[in-house]
Amino acid sequence: MAVIPADQTIKNSAAFTKALRQAVGIAKDGAIAILGITPSAPETGYGYIKTTGAEAHDEFTVERFIEKPDAPTAKKYLEEDGYFWNGGMFVLKASVWLASLKEFRPDILAATHKAWQAKSLDAADDAVFLRPGKELFNAIPSESIDYAVIEKCPGSKFPVV
């Protein structure tokens, strides 16, 4: 499954498609693939990914995640090798996501299961929607995928967009 925030702007669709295909290849073996972004400026609005260096096929391994830095630190990251923006884009198997939630956030997993058990079917215009129970869905603890799981998984691999 691909997790991509709704507020992303993809300017180079060919590069994005290439990186997404690489990410699918990484994820098929059970890894979490992160689509990192090559920084073009010392940006304080993004978190950063520190890597251990390039591997085969322009893939990198995560050393650690870094919260949004101040301007001097962001400038330092831009001048050094091995730092990428974390745009919050991930590719992983659903089974890996569920196992990761079980390990790191069992409360989110349990609440999600409860909401799914209360699901309903909604059909309109030849489409069928499965909707989790609304009240139970709204009761699921709200936390970004980054904080809940991804940042607890150093060693993840990622292609760079």
- The residue whose two tokens read 């996501």 is 97
Question: Which residues, 6+ apart, have CB-to-CB distance to 112 below 8 Å?
Answer: 101, 132, 140
Task: Kindly state the DSSP code that residue 67 receives in the 8-state scheme.
Answer: P
Q: Per-residue pLDDT tens for 73-122?
A: 999 999 998 899 988 898 999 998 898 899 889 999 999 999 999 999 98
pTM for the predicted model, two decimal places: 0.79
Within a 10 A sphere around the Cβ of 60, how many other Cβ atoms?
21
Statement: residue 161 has pLDDT above 50: no
- What domains are there in the chain, each with its CATH number? 2-93+153-159 (3.90.550.10), 106-138 (no CATH)
Rounded mean pLDDT of the chain? 87
Spatial distance between the Cα atoms of 34 and 91, rounded to a whole number of angstroms:
6
Which residue, among 76, 54, 68, has the nearest Cα to 160 in the 3D structure?
A: 54
pLDDT of residue 56: 61
When mean pLDDT is compared across 3-7, 115-119, 136-140, the lowest value belongs to 3-7
